[in-house]
Amino acid sequence: MLKVSDITCEYQKNPIGLGTKKPRFSWIIESDMQNVIQMSYRLQVSLDEKFKNIIWDTGVINSSKSVHIEYDGPDLRSFRRYFYRVKIMDNYGQESVWSDIGYFETALMDTSEWKAKFITPESEDEGNLSKGKYLRHEFVLDGEIDFARIYATALGMYEIYINGKRVGDDLLTPGWTSYKKRLQYQTYDITDLLVKGVNAVGAIVGAGWYKGDLAGWIGRRNVYGSRTALLVQMLIRYTDGREQIIVTDETWKASDSPILYSEIYHGEIYDARLEQSGWNLPNFDDNSWYAVDVINWDMSTLIPQEGLPVRRQEFIKPISMIITPKGEKVIDFGQNLAGWVKFTVRGKCGDKVVLKHAEVLDSEGNFYTENLRSAKQRIEYILKGYDAETFEPHFTFQGFRYVKIEEYPGEPSIDDFAAVVIHSDMKRIGKFTCSNELLNQLYHNIVWGLKSNFIDVPTDCPQRDERLGWTGDAQVFIETSCFIMNTALFFRKWLHDLKVDQLKNGGVPFVIPDVLGGHLENDKLIRQDHSSSGWGDAAVICPWTIYQFYDDVNILKEQYGSMKSWIEYIRANARDGIIWDSGFHFGDWLALDAKEGSYLGATPNDLIATAFYAYSTEILAKTAKILGNLSDYEEYLNLHDKIVKAFQDEFFTPSGRLAVRTQTAHVLVLMFNLVPDKYRARTIQTLIDLIDENNGHLTTGFLGTPYICHVLSNNGKTKEAYSLLLKEDYPSWLYQVKKGATTVWEHWDGIKPDGTMWSADMNSFNHYAYGSIGSWLYREIVGLNVDPEAPGFKHIIIKPKPGGDLTYAEAEYLSAYGRIFVSWSIGGGDITIDVAIPPNTKAKIILPHASSEAIETIRGVNVHFENCNDGAEAEIGSGTYKFIYPLTKFLAIEN
């Protein structure tokens, strides 16, 4: 049996609203044979589902490529659905049947196709208001409808209704981009919502990121404009071939809505008494509604949806309702999360529900909101007084585990509340479990850090008055995120914003979309508008990581200019173009070796900045090579050599001591290969001494933490890496787990051992940065690694490193080629390793401390192990395998 399954176009199943001229196709192969490789494929794209009007037929292409095959047929036209299918041949001469038929659909391929105008329901002087406003319009359709689409966006956020029904289930649309340069529109299929005769379209528009409060500590507002607006273009194709378009224009009408206030940070006030029954249905009397204004907007900024829409993902029921010592009535959802509360309430007209949201209780068990700073996270609902009223807010979200009920008609019952978890609609692709329950909880917390902070842009945190796309945080966490969910489209969109917000001189803003640049003059700490080392490096590290995990060369092509100008920015600012010793940097942010009262770790900026400069330059050189730009390759390889040499001269003493005695300094030089070979052993030993001097604990901050365990286990110190990871007392990953954390904290001591809190000034309990240890769980504990030479897991490197007190560990990962599985377990004096490798890939498996003669292959054929430095290794093809070997040698070495 050979089968093509899971065909996708641009990572998606049957996407509609694509804007790319050359969409790419991928498929997964299923086979019951081992060692399967695709020998050839044939792909067809057709105008019809029966494949009578084929516009592109590749013919039989002899290639093993099954990921990202780029369309190369005639130009695609706007507003069209195209069908595609594929068949393949494998290395056993088997031919598959045609795959199921997939489709993709184009949106507007050209700006000139926009006939709609942006219309605003707000007057010039409403800049300080954050109301939700209604917009409506009626239109007549005079035939049988074959195809109907809506293309829509807003300045602000919008929801659309056709004949009373909500269009799509996307939330917080149009998402957050650098609006003045790139504004996404969404495409929805509305064929089934329209009728022959009179139809109504209604929309609600709110402030959102466009005009609402942002970056609370510097008080930004109306960042992109002061009036919300809507843009809608509907295309209706009748069965007789006629086309009709309906667009936003002067004829639409507007009104206030029950949403009196809605702000991302602050929550929503909704007065149900102001609902206008039938406002989004035909034949509603809108005489009292007012005319809209048309406003100008540069239509060339419009782009089809690039990222993945934010959607409702899970509903969580409360675990309890408690009365705090202060007498507050608080619902506990048992999980820190991002989203909102959905509730059903009964009461009289004018009764109120008021809810406040918090992440933690204080040491006395009272509701704690100080760490939210200016973010109010408050929901107020005023009842209209019917039987049961169910409410969910519209243009806001909250970061919370606890909800305080400040007002409520009668006695609330927890059965009437649920937490709605929202995030970008990424596919979950990775799972990890092991025998240590605390570690499993840490992994759970890492996953929830991702869920809570991948809400259209990668944010630092989802609760306080920040929630910004901090580049440094994204950079340190991206690899872990790629193991857990498919984040390719999510990061692609964000990186495109990074590129357009990058400064002319190549500098990279601290947050993307950039809402801080030019507004930091009164900031207590930050001394410039952009370009901190370790933060700006997101421009290089993020595209590279996406390329590695998903074999997506396009991301490198698209970002190459941005990557290069970041390196050139550093070169222009570095002493002699080599040692970057100037400017403001966040450094090893929040490291525990910081001076009392400071956020900046003890590792000097020039060491960190030059180390990252070397690392990013090396990535740029590799990228240039992949893109076939050999002169740049030479250039940056050369530059890299020079930086490394100068780094060594500057920071190593002639006898091989690293002049900066901090954990992070040692971690970075080892991780980025800045240590002269002859000093490597000494450097590792000093790192271990530094950990010992700190009682076996880490002192690292944002930049050292992601790498510390990798550096240890890659240099023969797996035992020490485990010991660091499995520490349960402060400071450590498991300390917070033992303190009851359900997400990852911003500070190692967010809650101190005595129960008191780190300063409310900056104390998020949902910051993913330290969750970057997640990649170590996959890559080292289980040993699942992408081979940098064959990205996207086309060639997998499997190198488990059992250790600590773990008796088993396993990971599953849905790669572009299919499911990879690795597990190991220890028992009965043996280690058992189970592996599954998907068709069309190969793997190198390295079994630690094994002798080739002693390995028994229980499942899987033709495996020939050879002894190597680390144990025994073999090259294996697709299929499932089980190996067993005795533990003796392992125990002798690890203990």
Chain contacts with ligand BGC (rule: CB under 6 A)? 460-461, 466, 470, 472-473, 586, 589, 762, 767
105 a catalytic residue: no
Residue 205 or residue 461: which is nearer to ligand BGC going by CB? 461
For residue 3, what are the CA distances in angstroms to 37, 86, 96, 594, 878? 12, 10, 5, 57, 14
Q: How far is the CB of 814 from ligand BGC (least distance, A)?
A: 29
| Integer Cα distance of 119 and 201 in angstroms | 14
Query: CA-based Rg of the chain, rounded to a whole angstrom?
Result: 28
**Is the distance from CB of 368 to CB of 411 less than 8 angstroms?**
no
CB of 206 to ligand BGC, least distance (A): 25
HEC readout, 277-315:
CCCCCCCCCCCCCEECEEECCCHHHEEECCCCCEEEEEE
Residue 503 CB, shortest distance to ligand BGC, in Å, is: 18
As measured in angstroms, the least distance from the Cβ of 739 to ligand BGC is 20
Catalytic annotation, pick one of 138, 466, 780, 810 = 466
Question: CB-based contacts of 693: which residues, under 8 Å, 6+ apart?
Answer: none
For residues 552 and 121, what is the distance between their CA atoms, to the nearest angstrom? 42
> Which C-beta is closer to ligand BGC: that of 460 or that of 810?
460
Closer CB to ligand BGC, residue 122 or residue 746? 746
Which candidate, 715, 753, 763, places its Cα nearest to that of 732?
753
How far, in Å, are 479, 481, 618, 705, 740 from residue 491 at the CA level? Answer: 11, 10, 21, 22, 31
Amino acid in position 161: Y
Based on CB atoms, which residue is closest to ligand BGC, 380 or 501? 501
What's the CA gap between 155 and 807, in Å, rounded?
A: 54
Tell which residue, 563, 435, 426, 574, has the closest CA to residue 499.
563
Residue 266 sits at the vertex; the CA angle it makes with 261 and 271, to the nearest 5 degrees, is 30
Closest residue to ligand BGC using C-beta atoms: 460
3-state helix, strand, coil in the chain (%, to 5): 25, 30, 45
- The tally of CA atoms less than 13 A away on the side-chain side of residue 777 is 35
Nearer Cβ to ligand BGC (29/338): 338
Cβ atoms of residues 460 and 755 within 8 Å:
no
Picking from 794, 798, 770, 774, the residue whose alpha carbon sits closest to that of residue 784 is: 798
Active-site residue (options: 380, 746, 780, 873) = 746
Q: How far is the CB of 265 from ligand BGC (least distance, A)?
A: 14
CB-nearer residue toward ligand BGC: 404 or 464: 464
Instruction: Mark whether 275 is an active-site residue.
Output: no
Q: What is the 3-state secondary structure (H, E, C) of 367-420?
A: EECHHHCCCCCEEEEECCCCCCEEECCCCCCEEEEEEEEEECCCCCCHHHEEEE
Q: Which is nearer to ligand BGC, 472 or 848 (CB)?
A: 472
What is the C-alpha to C-alpha distance for residues 759 and 415, in angstroms, rounded to an integer? 35
**Nearest residue (CB) to ligand BGC, 599 versus 647:** 599
- Catalytic positions: 466, 746
